[in-house]
Structures are given as structure tokens and as C-alpha cells.
Structure 1
Amino acid sequence: MVKKKAAAHSGTPATALLDARGISYSVHGYTHDPAAVSFGLEAAEALGVAPALVFKTLLVNTGVPGAHALAVGVVPVNRTLDLKAMAHALGVKKVEMADPAVAERRTGYVVGGISPLGQRNPSRTVVDSSALMHETVFISGGRRGLDLGLAPADLMALTGAESAPIAGH
């Protein structure tokens, strides 16, 4: 994949991390529609790619006190996060979706633009195993209207992620 430098206005902690590590990625900006019902499906349509290639970043509350209270699930935008599967992957009894305000504070990003990369306070991350079937996946670049294309192996390495079947229907 050819690395495309982000324009000066599109630099985010996610692109800064990729640049610092010398990871090849592509930058895909589009005009975000505030009326869009699904940020992820909007991105897939704007990028002209199958929704199965675009992944959303969701934070869950594990119920574990301290630094491990939150975890990140990365799933295709046309699927849901299976909370039972996510809990199993994390080795906890159950998880629930994190409060959006807590997710924003923890990551430093706004909902709809949360990237698994460059988070203010990184959390344990699980990427749906379907990502590994693709040469390139697209994730949020750190703001609404900005996606990044990269190899799933690079996403996994940069986040220290585990892979598990965590996507529901």
C-alpha cells in the first residue's frame, strides 16, 4: 500500500502514530453529514467500499476496577458488537457499552470519530477476526469524515490487539 501523507488539516493522534512508526496507510477524507444515522455506513458509502471493510471502534465497560475498566472492540460497521463474545474474549463475566462521555474522555476523540489508534489512554483492544481476511481495512482517522486504510496486521500490532470473533449480526 502506498503511503499518502495527510494534508496538514487532517493530522490527528492516529496519523501521528502511524507516521512515527513508519507504517504505510492511506488517508480518506469525506464530508460528514451531521444527519447521518450511522457514521460507519456513511464512511463506507463515501469511500465506495464494502461495509465489511470499514471497522468501527466501540468502548465497553468491563466492570473491572481501575485501568482495565474499559476495553475497545473493533468490528465491521455493518455488524454489531456481540457483548457476550467480547466479554469472553476479555475473560470477564460481562461487558456493557461504555458511556459515550466516558469513551470521549478516555480516548480523546469524539463519538463517531474514535480511532483505535492514538488514544489518549489506550485500552485493551480486541479486533474482530474478520479483519484478518482482508488486505486493507478502514478505521476512523480520529475525527468524523476521516478514515484511514491500513493492513490489519499493522492495526493489531499498533494497538497490541487480540483477534476474536466479536461481531454479532
Structure 2
Amino acid sequence: MSSNNQQTILFPDILSSLKKSGRSLEKCNANLSFCSHTLNLHTREVPRINQALKNSQFFELVSVSEIRAAQYQLTSELEPQIKELVRMTENGLVKLQKREQMLRVNISKRKRLMMDDDEDLNEEQQPQEEAEEEEEQYSENQATIDRKLEQQETLLQRLRSQKNSLLKELERLDLELSRKSGRT
């Protein structure tokens, strides 16, 4: 009986040990599950962070001060050229305005001369054919003058728009330069 007694004494110890180890295993599994969930939660953003780091590494090849220096140098190189282009555009615009005014004066003079010629023709009673010929010539001259005037007006409008766009670009560059000089 003593061996039987020993077995019963050992058996409850084994059962209690198994129960304890089962509970410990369950706790380990719960801890492992919690750790796995936490790890998954915190590593979900790793690909996005890696991409952001790659992008920032790419941009760190050139420092901000080097970029500002290059922008300042570009602005200082382009500003005189842009100002010269604006000045040339303004001069061209003035010349075109003078030419337009001169053409308008010439047109009005020719109209007056044509009217005077028409009155003289009526007084002298030239044949009808000559009057028709002069009228055709006048119409042709008028059409040519009108076409040239339209071309000049179109050119004037184009130059004005170029001048305005250059002035806006110059203002934008001046503003950018003043902002950058205020920062540095």
C-alpha cells in the first residue's frame, strides 16, 4: 500500500502543478497576444515613415541657405534684364502711340483733302468716270489705312499686355526678394 499511497500523494501534486503551468501558459499567451497587438498597432505607420524619411533625405542634399542663395542670385541676375525689357517695352509703346497719333492725323488730313477734291470736282463738273475712279482709289486707300491701323492697334495691345505681365513678374520677384531678405 505504501506504493499506492505514494502514487496518490504524487498525483495531486502533479495535477496542481499542471493547473499552475496551464494558468501560466494562458497568461503567457495573453501577454503574447497583447504584445503582438501593440506591435502591430505601432508598426502600421512604419512604411509611411520610411517614405517620409527617404523624401527628407533627398531634400537634405541641398540646404535651405543654399536654396535661398541661389534664388537671390537668380533674382539679382534677372531683375536688371526684366527692368531693361520693361523700359524697352515702354519706349516701344510710346513710339507706337506717337505713330498711331500720326496715322490718325494723316487719315484726317486725307479725308479733308478728299472732301476738298470732291467739292472741286463737283464745281468743275468732271466726268462721272473720274469721280468713280477716285472714289475707288479712296476706298482702297482707306481700306489699306484701316488695315494698317488695326495691325498697329493689335501690336499696341500685345505690347501693353507684355508690359503688364513683365511688371507683375517684377513686382512678384521684388516681393519674394524682400521676403527672403527679411528672413535671412
TM-score (norm 2): 0.16
More strand by share: 1
* Larger Rg computed on CA atoms: 2
More helix by share: 2
TM-score (norm 1): 0.17
Which structure exhibits the higher relative contact order, with contacts defined as CA atoms closer than 8 Å and separated by 6 or more residues? 2
